[in-house]
Amino acid sequence: MSAKLKKSLLLLLSALLLVGVSQVQRSLNVDRDKLGFTRVAPLENAPPVLAFTTVALGGFRGIISNILWMRATDLQENDKFFEMAQLAQWITQLEPHFVQVWLVQAWNMAYNISVKFKDWPDRWRWVKGGVELLRDEGLRYNPNEMLIYRELGWIFQHKMGQNLDDASLYYKQMWADEMAVVFAKKAPNLDELLHPQTPDQFQRLNLLTNKYKMDPKLMKEADDLYGPLEWRLPESSAIYWAHLGLRAAKERPAKVNKEDLITLHRVIYQSMQMSFKRGALIPNALEKNFDFGPNLDIIPRVNDAYVQAAEEEVQMRDNIHNAHRNFLRDAVYYLYLHDRMKDAQKWFEYLSKEYPNKPLVDGKPDSLPKTLTLDQFCVARAIENTKSFMGKDEAEAFIEGQLRTSFIRIIEDRDAEAKATERLMEQFHAYHQSQVPKERAGPIGLRPFKDLQRQALNSLLDPEKGLRPEPRAILRSKLGLPAETAPARNTNSAPQKVTSR
């Protein structure tokens, strides 16, 4: 073949190929846009070095990031974690717009690496690392990416909020400490951060926006929609970030996957549930820390969330209804325990209306709503975990134990709960007595309620076996009892009454 003929044939071939490529180009463009590859603009908000390298490295970024990722996997298999933070940063910085990279790296740090350490502070460091990666870096470069918000919310709700990790209590404690600084160690007050007056408030506002990247306006929004929320707990942050995720999703509906949207909603629902179950921080003056208690003000919103979820997720409707029913039962019981009788009654009726055909008490198929009163339901609920029928000693022990708790609640300034517990125990006492046949009332009947209550009180006030001196004094003063006489230290004092526990 002569050179000239060869040349002209090659030219023809190249022309054909060009034409072919131009046909494919259009669909290529569509794909590129969908996958987010068409970022030509330099990185916004990036430090100059990073912006320079991402532009300068060009197509090599993918290769380098792959190599680094392989190294990271290698190291992780060999338990060498000290490089992981650095590698995660490099990998994400090389491909800052590739969302999966952010998600996987953060999840890896928060879940996989953290659990490899046995000390709680080490684990917390890695969970926090995952959070910071997404919150401080990922959102900086991808402020409208719903998946990042979802992942962030998930870490707060699932890793920190739930109890799967042995260190979860530590996480909650650490997070609460950090938030306590923002809210000046009292119950969170969003208004003073929205309209700061004093320098201290300005400073705290700064801390909130700059370090924790949270906007009080949006927090208020979330509070109104899903709250009221205890902002010192992780599930509140979960709701905050998920809320932001929903906003981002609304702005770019085309990019949002239906599945992802559902998981986003789930973050919110589950966080709300968590908040309901134990979303109130109750200061414990005795122990100088916090106890977790249910957040009762959130009940209406949670209810709405269940209703909405049932509408949205058609396949899961039965499960959702189940969960709804359980929630309502819990709501009624907690309200009762906190002496909010009116609300308890209201929701009890609502529960009966919504699920008339489902038993109220597990294991008792005939406990349908219309057969039980509120009191009966709560009593049944209280002894749900104990044996179906308790003997005299067990029942007395149970009542006494609960009454002791009620007295301790008095010390802790939780009077409503104390009163409710007392009432509940009275109900139980009456119920138990009613179950005992008349002829056996003597041997197996319970002692009078007041006796049991006095016994509980005495056991707490016992100088040797009861509470410490300070709580004893508080209890005495709260109940209007005279102060203790100075205890006799010599052994000539009368032997103490042995209380049954």
Binding site for other proteins (CB under 8 A): 74, 79-86, 89, 111, 115-116, 118, 122, 125-126, 129, 164-167
Token digits for 347?
């929701």
Cα dihedral 480→481→485→489 (10° resolution): -120
Min separation Cβ 47 and other proteins, Å: 12
Task: Report d(CA 86, CA 78) in Å as an integer.
Answer: 17
Give the helix/strand (H/E) hosting 282.
Answer: strand 280-284
> How far apart are CB 212 and other proteins at their closest, in Å?
18
Report the alpha-carbon distance of residue 233 to residue 214 in Å, rounded: 14
439: phi then psi, degrees, rounded to nearest 5? -75, -20
User: Which of residues 167 and 452 has its CB atom nearest to other proteins in the complex?
Assistant: 167
Q: Which of 126/231 has CB closer to other proteins?
A: 126
- Nearest-approach distance from CB 84 to other proteins, in angstroms: 7
The least CB distance from residue 131 to other proteins, in Å, is 13
Nearer to other proteins by Cβ, of 118 and 387: the residue is: 118
What SS3 state is found at 276?
Answer: helix
CA 461 to chain centroid, in Å, comes to: 37
Report the residue number, 24 or 49, with the smaller CB distance to other proteins: 49
∠ CA 219-157-208, nearest 5°, is: 35
> Per residue in 320-329, is it b (16+ CB within 10 Å) or e — as a string?
bbebbbebbb
Q: Which lies closer to other proteins via its Cβ, residue 82 or residue 366?
A: 82
Would you say 226 and 239 are in contact if contact means Cβ atoms under 8 Å apart? yes
Which residues 6+ apart lie within 8 Å of 92 measured at CB? 101, 102, 105, 133, 137, 138
Q: Which is nearer to other proteins, 115 or 225 (CB)?
A: 115
Give, to the nearest 10 degrees, the angle between helix 317-337 and helix 341-354. 160
C-alpha distance across the termini of the chain, in Å: 107
Q: What are phi and psi of 486, to 5 degrees?
A: -60, 130
* Residue whose CB is less far from other proteins, 126 or 149: 126
Query: Which of 167, 166, 277, 192 shows the shortest CA–CA distance to 230?
Result: 277
Residue whose CB is less far from other proteins, 158 or 204: 158
> Cβ of residue 78: shortest distance to other proteins, in angstroms?
8
Please report which residue ranges of 58-109 form alpha helices under DSSP H.
60-77, 84-94, 99-107
The closest alpha carbon to 445, from 460, 434, 456, 453, belongs to 434
Residue 102 CB, shortest distance to other proteins, in Å, is 16
- DSSP code for 485: P
Nearer to other proteins, 164 or 441 (CB): 164
Shortest reach from residue 80's CB to other proteins, in Å? 8
* Closest CB to other proteins among residues 121, 143: 121
Q: Which is nearer to other proteins, 89 or 433 (CB)?
A: 89
CB closer to other proteins, 122 vs 297:
122
In the complex, minimum distance from the CB of residue 53 to other proteins, in angstroms, rounded to a whole number:
12
**Which residue, 166 or 484, is less far from other proteins as judged by CB?**
166
Contact 209, 235 (CB under 8 A): no
CA distance linking residue 309 with residue 316, whole number of Å: 9
Residue in the structure block whose two tokens are 């708790």: 405
Residues contacting 212, CB < 8 A, separation 6+ = 135, 178, 182
For the bound state, the minimum distance from the C-beta of residue 115 to other proteins, rounded and expressed in Å, comes to 5
Contacts of 435 (CB under 8 A, 6+ apart): 389
The least distance separating other proteins from the CB of residue 112, rounded to whole angstroms, comes to: 8
Give least dist CB 75 to other proteins, A: 10
312 vs 137: CA distance, rounded Å: 33
Residue whose pair of structure tokens reads 């991402």 in the numeric block? 54
Q: Would you say 95 and 35 are in contact if contact means Cβ atoms under 8 Å apart?
A: no
Alpha carbons 238 and 151: distance in angstroms, whole number = 9
The least CB distance from residue 146 to other proteins, in Å, is 27
Q: How far is the CB of 281 from other proteins (least distance, A)?
A: 24
> Strand, helix or coil at 283?
strand
